[in-house]
Amino acid sequence: MNILFVADPLEVFKTYKDTTFSMMREAQRRGHRVAACEPQDLSWRTGDVVRARVREITLTGSLDEWFTVEREGPRALKDFDAALMRKDPPFDSEYFYATHLLEQAEREGARAFNKPASLRDHPEKLAIMEFPQYIGPTLVTRDAEDVKRFHAEHEEIILKPLDGMGGMGIFRVGADGLNLGSIIETLNRHGTTTIMVQRFLPEIAQGDKRILIIGGEPVPFSLARIPQGSEIRGNLAAGGKGVAQPLSARDFEIARGIGPVLAARGLLLVGLDVIGDCLTEINVTSPTCFQEITQQAGFDVPAMFLGALEKALR
């Protein structure tokens, strides 16, 4: 197969932990050809198909100078067997436009994963609301009074922006309501921006678990991202410590309840975030943690992913 990765610049990859790098390495190990571009390299000209300026690469086996460019130039996306959208968040206007170009490429015959329309249809925080049986008390609103009533009911709450990533912009407010008004104003910008409010889950002390679903099936190990020191955020980007652990019975229940639904919508790879027994986020843009789980648990996540991709393309 000839696989195109639409991703961040190759030069900024942290290869010792990067999930896209691990996908590329496994693809090459299986004999597939690897190419890469950035979303900004996508273009569509009148009367033509969607193309990208791509670099066809070979991985060297090193973690430093880890690739060589074999050739570079414009290619039609439909000429690849698969185009994997692996651009990291934020999901901004440019990401949105890139999904439209990828969707046009699909109409021309390209196979894109995750499916571009489904990337747009599953905003990573809002998507959990479709599955109330798996989540804790949650409110999505612009209204400050709604937030205050939610706080009065649940006492300890978490507030977060809908477009945050890596734990950015998350606030915890205790029963005393200290600074609640100021935090609401900061996040919802005086009623102009929608925010999410959730009951605080003390189980965060045991970690925010990343559960990977590939082709509708859960990886049997999660990566529990455990907050350090006085932090309430387990995100690795916020300094959390990642510990691989087997899925619990509840983890399997959530993953097997959601996985087939999302797989049927063209979401080959999904990352669920679970705290205690509650689903808190559904990641579809660029789920990570392949290398951490593989190294700690001995389960080959990249191999499972490439196997699922090969099956999807048959």
SS3 97: helix
- CATH 3.40.50.20 location in the chain: 2-114
Q: How many residues make up the chain in this entry?
A: 314
Where are the CATH 3.30.470.20 domain residues in the chain?
205-312
| CATH code for the domain defined by 2-114 | 3.40.50.20
pLDDT at 231 over 80: no
Q: Is the pLDDT of residue 89 over 90?
A: no
- 257 vs 235, which has greater pLDDT? 257
Residue 2 known to be catalytic:
no
pLDDT of the residue at 90: 85
Q: What are phi and psi of 246, to 5 degrees?
A: -65, 150
Annotated catalytic residue, options 160, 199, 209, 251: 160
Does 125 participate in catalysis according to the annotation?
Answer: yes
Active-site position among 225, 235, 251, 292: 225
298's tokens? 């001995």
Dihedral sign for Cα atoms in the order 215, 111, 288, 291: positive
Q: Looking at per-residue confidence, does 136 or 90 come out higher?
A: 136
The pLDDT tens digits of the residues spanning 148-204 come to 999 999 999 999 999 887 778 899 999 999 999 999 999 999 899 999 999 999 999
Is 283 known to be catalytic? yes
Q: What are phi and psi of 54, to 5 degrees?
A: -115, 160
- pLDDT at position 239 is 75
Residue 210 annotated as catalytic: yes
Tracing tokens 């949650």 back to the chain, one arrives at 138
- Among the options 124, 251, 273, 292, which is catalytic? 273
Q: Where are the alpha helices (DSSP H) in the chain?
A: 19-29, 93-107, 116-121, 144-154, 180-188, 249-263, 290-297, 301-312
pLDDT score at 292: 97
Q: Of 3.40.309.10, 3.60.9.10, 3.30.1490.20, 3.20.20.140, which CATH number belongs to 137-200?
A: 3.30.1490.20
| CATH architecture group of domain 205-312 | 2-Layer Sandwich (3.30)
Give how far Cα 292 sits from Cα of 17, 112, 298, 302, Å.
Answer: 7, 26, 10, 11
Nearest alpha carbon to residue 198 among 234, 157, 232: 157
- How far is Cα 5 from Cα 23, in angstroms, rounded to an integer? 9
Query: Across the chain, what does the average pLDDT equal?
Result: 95
| Given 26, 106, 281, 292, the catalytic residue | 281
- Torsion angles phi and psi, residue 18, rounded to 5: -70, 130
Tell me the percentage of the chain whose pLDDT exceeds 70: 98
Q: Return the pLDDT at 234.
A: 66
18, 114, 283, 292: the catalytic one is 283
Which residue in the list 55, 233, 235, 251 is annotated as catalytic?
A: 233
Residues of the chain with CATH 3.30.1490.20: 137-200
